A and B are shown apart, each in its own frame.
Chain A
Amino acid sequence: MNILTAIGAVLFTAACLTVGLRLLFLARRTGQLPELLIGFSFLTGGVMSYVLAGVFAYFEVPAVWAPVLGTVGRLVYIGPPVAMAIVAWRVFRQDRPWAGLAVGSLMTLNLLYVLRPFLIGNLLRRELVGNPLYWISTAAQILPWLWVAIESFLLYQQLRKRARLGLAEDPALAYRMLMWTIGLGTLVLLAISMEATSLAAVLGLPHIPMNPIIIVLGLTCAISLWLAFFPPKAFLGRFEQGVSRET
């Protein structure tokens, strides 16, 4: 089980690294904001935050530096959700004032995460989960990813309808959007599972085994993102045949 868990975690990290780098290289070429923000989110959220957490856990940080490094780490940690909130707004809802307000609110709540130790002190995990501020800031970190996943799913549905009418420029784009949505959805589920596991432990509820969850969600995420960004020709051909059958 441990080897499988490690494989799931490595594949998940590799998928985030590959997608992040690919989009950042694309952003360098195009100068466009969406690829920059999504690339940054995958690279930071899926890879860098784990690397930094590992480094902090491995090396002893002098007490005098702890608050500074902690704040820097927290700023890095809120980067991806803030970036994804901006993506949701600027890509999917740029003409909707409510979306701008939602992004402003999410940014404020994420800032609360950075300030949390100064507001409520450095609490132990079991004390922290009893504090509403913990759940507010945790929700603010997960919601932007969920928002983009929902918008991507709605776009997938639109593209599929167009493909049925022969209006699609690229019929396979609909299915690649579906793979992208599944990839994002598994990221959200993984984050929710981790929070649920911590909460169950603190509340003394039956232990939720994380290993099978990491294996299933990690593999699903890696495969979905790979099929979205690097689909084999045979896979694309099947999709196009599927669209032809539907029309």
Chain B
Amino acid sequence: MFDSPVFNWMSSALEDVTPWNAQSARGTVRLALKKAGLDARSVNKLEMVVVVDRLLERELAVRGIEDAATVCRDLRSRLEAESFGGSAPGPARPEDVFSRLLGTPTRSASDRGPEPLRR
């Protein structure tokens, strides 16, 4: 299974705005996603926005990127403007399967998005 277009886009954008190579940029995004409990293969745009807002700045700062806040603001605005098109529905995620099994409300992958942020 391949990484999601959102993950690939973000890694590439991070590579552009930092002195890092592709491997470092992808590794950093992957690490931020892991801390958010998300997967590079299925992350969507709305989830990535939350990761950029809440986790990426710290990941960049600890890796020596100066003015990480500005970099994240720039990445966020570019990400919001980006359109990733309608991707074909992928295989069911384990959480979707267990939502169904345990009888909890669920939404489809296309309209899955974050709840209002709580800080």
Residues of A whose CB lies within 8 Å of any CB of B are 23, 26, 30, 32, 34-35, 38, 91-92, 94-95, 151-152, 155, 157-162, 165-170, 172-173, 176-177, 180, 228-229, 244, 247
Query: Are the CB atoms of A161 and B37 closer together than 8 Å?
Result: yes
For the A-B complex with A170-B99, A173-B98 known, give 7 more contacts whose Cβ atoms are closer than 8 Å: A26-B101, A91-B92, A92-B94, A152-B98, A155-B98, A173-B104, A180-B98
Chain A, interface SS category: helix
Interface residues in B89-119 by Cβ distance below 8 A to A read 91-92, 94-95, 97-107, 112, 114-119
In the complex, per-residue mask of B31-42: 1 if CB is within 8 Å of any chain A CB, else 0: 000011111010
Instruction: Give the chain B neighbours of A151 by CB distance below 8 A.
Output: 94
CB distance from A90 to the nearest CB of B (A): 9
B73, CB-defined interface residue at 8 Å: no
Closest-by-CB residue of A relative to B112 is A169
B50, CB-defined interface residue at 8 Å: yes
Chain B, interface SS category: loop
B54, CB-defined interface residue at 8 Å: yes
Given A91-B94, A92-B94, A161-B36 in contact, is the A166-B114 Cβ separation under 8 Å?
yes
Instruction: Give the chain B neighbours of A166 by CB distance below 8 A.
Output: 50, 114-118
B47, CB-defined interface residue at 8 Å: yes
Closest-by-CB residue of B relative to A155 is B94
Q: Which of A32, A167, A173 contacts B36 (CB 8 A)?
A: A167
Closest-by-CB residue of A relative to B90 is A95
Query: Are the CB atoms of B54 and A229 closer together than 8 Å?
Result: no
Query: CA separation between A228 and B103, bound complex, in Å?
Result: 10
Instruction: Give the chain B neighbours of A35 by CB distance below 8 A.
Output: 100-101
Q: Which of B36, B47, B98, B100 contacts A30 (CB 8 A)?
A: B100
B1, CB-defined interface residue at 8 Å: yes
Instruction: Give the chain B neighbours of A92 by CB distance below 8 A.
Output: 94
Given A170-B105, A247-B119 in contact, is the A32-B100 Cβ separation under 8 Å?
yes
Query: Are the CB atoms of A162 and B97 closer together than 8 Å?
Result: no
Query: CA separation between A159 and B39, bound complex, in Å?
Result: 11
Most buried by B among A38, A94, A165, A169: A165
Query: Are the CB atoms of A177 and B98 closer together than 8 Å?
Result: yes
Instruction: Give the chain A neighbours of B114 by CB distance below 8 A.
Output: 165-167
Instruction: Give the chain B neighbours of A170 by CB distance below 8 A.
Output: 99, 104-106
CB distance from B72 to the nearest CB of A (A): 15
Instruction: Give the chain A neighbours of B116 by CB distance below 8 A.
Output: 166
Query: CA separation between A228 and B117, bound complex, in Å?
Result: 26
Given A161-B35, A162-B38 in contact, is the A167-B115 Cβ separation under 8 Å?
yes
Given A92-B94, A158-B37, A173-B95 in contact, is the A167-B50 Cβ separation under 8 Å?
yes
CB distance from A169 to the nearest CB of B (A): 6
State the 8 A-B residue pairs at the shortest beta-carbon distance, nearest first.
A161-B37, A95-B1, A158-B37, A247-B118, A162-B37, A170-B104, A166-B115, A167-B114
Instruction: Give the chain B neighbours of A228 by CB distance below 8 A.
Output: 102
Instruction: Give the chain A neighbours of B41 by CB distance below 8 A.
Output: 95
Query: CA separation between A108 and B116, bound complex, in Å?
Result: 49
Q: Which of B38, B92, B99 contacts A173 (CB 8 A)?
A: B99
Instruction: Give the chain B neighbours of A167 by CB distance below 8 A.
Output: 36-38, 47, 50, 114-115
CB distance from A115 to the nearest CB of B (A): 33
